[in-house]
């Protein structure tokens, strides 16, 4: 049985983005996101425990940037990031976005 370990509800929807680690900046797709972290789909992989900066594109002209720690790596798929504590403005912006996306998904 797979037990859900996430503390925060997530939105499983693709977003374009980038991630920056020790080896530089790479374009990626964000497969799911919550206020606690996200899963980054990419072929270039950081090491578990590495600090990374993830930028998520929201629409055509807006992006949100988060710093976090790589908590696990899935070769061929990507990696999971746990966000560092968010500044209140970033946390509020992310909560508003996730609430809107969850409401939009529930109405479908």
Answer whether 72's CB lies under 8 Å from 82's CB.
no
Q: What is the pLDDT of residue 60?
A: 76
With a cut of 70, list the residues of the chain below it in pLDDT: 1-9, 103-108
Q: What is the pLDDT of residue 69?
A: 96
Look at the domain 11-106 and name its fold. Thrombin, subunit H (2.40.10)
- Exposed, middle or buried: residue 44 (CB in 10 Å: 0-12, 13-18, 19+)? middle
Contacts of 56 (CB under 8 A, 6+ apart): 15, 17, 30, 33, 38, 63, 64, 65, 66
State which H helix or E strand residue 39 sits in: strand 37-41
Domain ranges of the chain: 11-106
């Amino acid at each position: 049985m797979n037990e859900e370990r996430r503390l925060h509800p997530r939105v499983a929807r693709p977003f374009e983005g980038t991630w920056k680690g020790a080896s530089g900046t790479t374009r990626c797709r964000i497969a799911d996101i919550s206020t606690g972290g996200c899963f980054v789909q990419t072929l270039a992989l950081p090491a578990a425990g590495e600090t990374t900066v993830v930028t998520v594109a929201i629409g055509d002209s807006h992006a949100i940037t988060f710093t976090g720690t790589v908590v696990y790596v899935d070769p061929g798929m990507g990696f999971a990031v746990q966000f560092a504590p968010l500044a209140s403005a970033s946390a509020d912006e992310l909560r508003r976005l996730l609430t809107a996306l969850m409401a939009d998904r529930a109405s479908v």
